[in-house]
Structure 1
Amino acid sequence: MDIAVQAGLILLLGIAFFLIIGVPISIGVGISSVLAMFTIVDFDDGLLTSAQRMFTGINSFTLLAIPFFILAGVIMNNGGIATRLINCAKILAGRMPGSLAHTNILANMLFGSISGSAVASAAAVGSTMGELQAKEGYKREFSAAVNIASAPTGMLIPPSNIMIVFSLVSGGTSIAALFLAGYLPGILWGIACILVALFISKKRGYKSQIQISWKQRLLVILDAIPSLLLIVIVIGGIIGGVFTATEGSAIAVVYSLLLSFLYRSIKIKDLPNILLEATRTTSIVVFLIGVSSIMSWVMSFTNIPRLIADLLLSITDNMIFILLIMNIILLIVGTFMDPTPAVLIFTPIFLPIAESFGIDPIQFGIMMVLNLSIGTITPPVGPVLFVGVRVAKLPIESVIKPLMPFFLVSIAILLLVTFVPSISLFIPELFGLLK
């Protein structure tokens, strides 16, 4: 049997087996990659090469941005920032029918973009907005669906950890360009959710319950400005070339910590638990990147990406069909695999195929992130879906039907991003970040 076929089967069947028996994805990828390595070199050299590849994979200055952004997100979760953003979202929602649902969506977009975590957004915003909507007569299933469907917008609206991972594994795609490219798709997803919520709210007679004087509106907006300034400072500094993404992530930590102390929502005694929580999340991500580096080396050495490309191109050489096949595969993968390992595994396989059709790596990166973001709200393993129903205290099957309209519009946004390159590339091109 050809060495590439052997290695490919070990990787594919190994990862699938470990997922089925419930082994963490990082462990499954690591063991499968090391076993595949043994088809190329002997045992001793295989272990040595695996260790070297793990170290090389995580020995990156750019990678430091991930733990800093994770820490900044944890600080924000505990620092009273979510409440201020929700209050600001109430003002933005105005007096539209179903205004509390729109508040939930806008708050997820704001909080998700600052924290960079869809799961944290679903938990922080959903726990507050769910009860408010229930008191005003909204069905809990509808409220949960709104929260779940809109939480992943923060994976597209920067700063986004998953885009940093894509930049690393794609060979150094500009993080600044990726960040800017995520704005329009993320905002379009949020607007699509608002339109669905508006239609359902009108149909069910959900009225606006937000009665705030202009003076109160001004005070709420002023209270939220320091939190919103974080986006301006970090993203503006990265785009303007004032500092790198890694330096920007460190600034985000300092700024969010000072803001939380100013709000008196975090005390010195809270810092050890905050650091511990951030360390746990960071260790998972960094270990995944390390073991995926072994897998990437195996695939590169055995030319597995080229073999898969040849297989796809033997089916059709039509770019539209190739992109549809990629989207279908990524949507399926996203239903049972977290975005980070999926990006690490499938970018080396699909990106060369996309580039052969003249697709810009930035557009492909946004397409991939959007695909996998949809996977986070899709059963059976969607993490945002499970957090959303847990916060709402509902069984998962009860939110599937109300979630379907939101799921359909997210697919529509995905197709737009896939086949209309300007949606992703317009803003990076405007700032002169495209080659």
Structure 2
Amino acid sequence: MIVSSLLLLLVLGVPIAVAFALVVIANAEAWNIDPFSLAAMPFDTVSNFSLLAIPLFLLVGELMNRGGLVKQLTAVCDLFMSRIRAPMGHIMVMASALMGAITGSSVATVAAIGGTVGVEMRQRGYSKGYTAALNAASGLLGVLIPPSIPLILYGAIVGVSITNLFIASIVPGILTILVFSFIHSILSRRVLPDGKETLPASMAQERNDKTVNKGSVLVRALPALMLPILVLGGIYSGVFTATEAAAIAGVYALAVTVLTRQASAGDLKKILEHAALASAAILAIIAFTSIFNRAMILEQVPQSITEIATSFTGNPILFLLAINAALLLIGMFMETNAATLLMGPLLAPAAVNYGIDPVHFGVLLVTNIEIGLLTPPLAANLYVAQRTNEARLTEMFGYVMWFLLGSLLVLGMITFVPALTTWYQFL
């Protein structure tokens, strides 16, 4: 009843943060909850030090995109993949992974890479529909490749090490890269004339110049390449936390953008505005879902779910299959961050009761929900890729289905092979 009411409000178009708060207020009397006792909770929640990483990583993404650093990363990918058949599709996947390793946001990755790599893919003979489909699917790497904003949210609200979550998501991210690249290799034979990219004369000359000046391409891209190394290397070596890494990355990206004169003062103002607005939207959702989650705890909903799950089956595999089905459905109707904040605290206790590692379950939960970015009606990645690549949804669906199946394959591997996420515990 509670979840169905929430879903109804979301379907009716009520803003996500408002919908969470309304459900609690409307049921406060029935739940014997004093609304005034929850007044300070939104502020207390967003004051969590770990959540500071979200606006900082979003700022880094804006600086990367508008400061020209994304083009430098794309040039490096092109440098090493130019001899592979249908290279631009592989470049789309790899550039999305690199962007995800910096921003932690799927939608930001789709917008940034679609506006750079997507343009060149269309110039080389790919249809708008296929380009947009690959762009939308590759955007999932913005969530799977650490750092990941949904994983930060899960770790903060469930009480799991965010660093361990980042480490655990590395292998699933690599698997997704390999699966998407394999699918592209097959589909490119069908979507390209004679299965080969068409390279205009001007672009062919540029390619030749890049081949001769590989060193200069790497030197120009060195500041952009150092950023993911700085972020991930610092986190995994234990030098600084994920939040501190976000702060360092923000200062670094800002310094590189200013020193290389990639953005004017007006551009910097727009960058800060976009990052602030995106951060405010996410933090508002976090603030008001905290009220909803507290109400669920007071009503002992997590305990009830655990009891129902354990009475339904004592087999952890069957439990995970049921959870996968439920989360895939929820991901179709709820925004990724909101769904993570809602389902994490509700389902994590039941998973632990089955002996499932909370880190493994966190990666599983986020992977499930982020697949919803490709599945209507919400499907944020599809809509952003559609606009960025000037395509129609009907042109995209036939291709998106293949990448959706690839995502489900990776999900199945994560579900049935826990070592893919818990491997770091054996070191």
Query: Shorter-chain TM-score: which interval?
Result: over 0.9
Partner in structure 2 of residue 4 of structure 1: none
Q: Deviations over 1:154-174 (max 9, x none)?
A: 211112111110111112x11
Give the counterpart letter for 1:202 in structure 2.
Answer: R
Q: 5 Å matches for 1:352-363?
A: 352-363=349-360
CA distance in 2, matches of 1:389, 1:404: 15
Q: Deviations over 1:249-291 (max 9, x none)?
A: 1111100001111331112333332222111111111111111
Partner in structure 1 of residue 173 of structure 2: 186
Partner in structure 2 of residue 6 of structure 1: none
2:3 to 3, 12, 35: 12
CA distance in 2, matches of 1:88, 1:38: 59
The DSSP-based 3-state class of the residue aligned with 2:377 is coil
1:150 and 2:128 are equivalent in the alignment: no
Partner in structure 2 of residue 165 of structure 1: 153
Measured at CA, do residues 292 and 227 of structure 1 come closer, stay the same or move farther in structure 2, by a change above 3 Å? same
Using the TM superposition, give the Cα deviation of residue 36 of structure 1 relative to its aligned residue in structure 2, in angstroms. 2.8
TM-score by length of 1: 0.91
CA distance in 2, matches of 1:37, 1:22: 22
Q: 5 Å matches for 1:31-430?
A: 31-41=22-32, 46-171=34-159, 173-203=160-190, 204=192, 205-207=194-196, 209=199, 211-212=207-208, 214-427=211-424, 429-430=426-427
Q: 2:360·2:421 contact (CA, 8 Å) conserved in 1?
A: yes
CA distance in 2, matches of 1:427, 1:316: 30
Q: 1:138·1:206 contact (CA, 8 Å) conserved in 2?
A: no
CA distance in 2, matches of 1:281, 1:429: 38
The DSSP-based 3-state class of the residue aligned with 2:13 is coil
Using the TM superposition, give the Cα deviation of residue 428 of structure 1 relative to its aligned residue in structure 2, in angstroms. 5.7
The DSSP-based 3-state class of the residue aligned with 1:376 is helix
CA distance in 1, matches of 2:18, 2:244: 31
**Coordinate RMSD, CA, aligned:** 1.8
CA distance in 2, matches of 1:231, 1:386: 27
Unaligned runs of 5+ in 1: 1-8, 431-435
Give the counterpart letter for 1:352 in structure 2.
Answer: P
Q: 1:180·1:428 contact (CA, 8 Å) conserved in 2?
A: no
Q: Deviations over 1:339-358 (max 9, x none)?
A: 11101110112111111121
Give the counterpart letter for 1:379 in structure 2.
Answer: P
Using the TM superposition, give the Cα deviation of residue 417 of structure 1 relative to its aligned residue in structure 2, in angstroms. 0.8
Using the TM superposition, give the Cα deviation of residue 240 of structure 1 relative to its aligned residue in structure 2, in angstroms. 2.1
Q: 2:98·2:228 contact (CA, 8 Å) conserved in 1?
A: no
Using the TM superposition, give the Cα deviation of residue 221 of structure 1 relative to its aligned residue in structure 2, in angstroms. 2.3
Give the counterpart letter for 1:185 in structure 2.
Answer: P
Q: 2:57·2:102 contact (CA, 8 Å) conserved in 1?
A: no
Q: 2:351·2:361 contact (CA, 8 Å) conserved in 1?
A: yes
Q: Deviations over 1:215-274 (max 9, x none)?
A: 322322222222121112122222222222222111111000011113311123333322
Tell me the matched-pair count: 417
Q: 2:348·2:358 contact (CA, 8 Å) conserved in 1?
A: yes
Measured at CA, do residues 232 and 427 of structure 1 come closer, stay the same or move farther in structure 2, by a change above 3 Å? farther
Using the TM superposition, give the Cα deviation of residue 429 of structure 1 relative to its aligned residue in structure 2, in angstroms. 4.6
Unaligned runs of 5+ in 2: none
Give the counterpart letter for 2:23 in structure 1.
Answer: S
CA distance in 2, matches of 1:177, 1:387: 31
Using the TM superposition, give the Cα deviation of residue 70 of structure 1 relative to its aligned residue in structure 2, in angstroms. 1.6
Using the TM superposition, give the Cα deviation of residue 30 of structure 1 relative to its aligned residue in structure 2, in angstroms. 1.2
Measured at CA, do residues 26 and 382 of structure 1 come closer, stay the same or move farther in structure 2, by a change above 3 Å? same
Using the TM superposition, give the Cα deviation of residue 363 of structure 1 relative to its aligned residue in structure 2, in angstroms. 0.8
The DSSP-based 3-state class of the residue aligned with 2:40 is helix
Sequence identity of aligned pairs in percent?
Answer: 34
Using the TM superposition, give the Cα deviation of residue 33 of structure 1 relative to its aligned residue in structure 2, in angstroms. 2.0
**Worse-matched range after superposition: 96-105 or 207-216:** 207-216
Q: 1:36·1:298 contact (CA, 8 Å) conserved in 2?
A: no
CA distance in 2, matches of 1:130, 1:243: 35
Using the TM superposition, give the Cα deviation of residue 362 of structure 1 relative to its aligned residue in structure 2, in angstroms. 1.0
Measured at CA, do residues 57 and 39 of structure 1 come closer, stay the same or move farther in structure 2, by a change above 3 Å? farther
The DSSP-based 3-state class of the residue aligned with 2:213 is helix
Using the TM superposition, give the Cα deviation of residue 100 of structure 1 relative to its aligned residue in structure 2, in angstroms. 1.1
Using the TM superposition, give the Cα deviation of residue 214 of structure 1 relative to its aligned residue in structure 2, in angstroms. 4.1
Using the TM superposition, give the Cα deviation of residue 39 of structure 1 relative to its aligned residue in structure 2, in angstroms. 2.3
Give the counterpart letter for 1:419 in structure 2.
Answer: F
Measured at CA, do residues 366 and 94 of structure 1 come closer, stay the same or move farther in structure 2, by a change above 3 Å? same
CA distance in 2, matches of 1:59, 1:106: 35
The DSSP-based 3-state class of the residue aligned with 1:394 is coil
CA distance in 2, matches of 1:151, 1:55: 31
TM-score by length of 2: 0.93
Q: 1:71·1:253 contact (CA, 8 Å) conserved in 2?
A: yes
CA distance in 1, matches of 2:121, 2:60: 29
Using the TM superposition, give the Cα deviation of residue 303 of structure 1 relative to its aligned residue in structure 2, in angstroms. 0.9
Give the counterpart letter for 1:305 in structure 2.
Answer: P
CA distance in 2, matches of 1:241, 1:177: 11
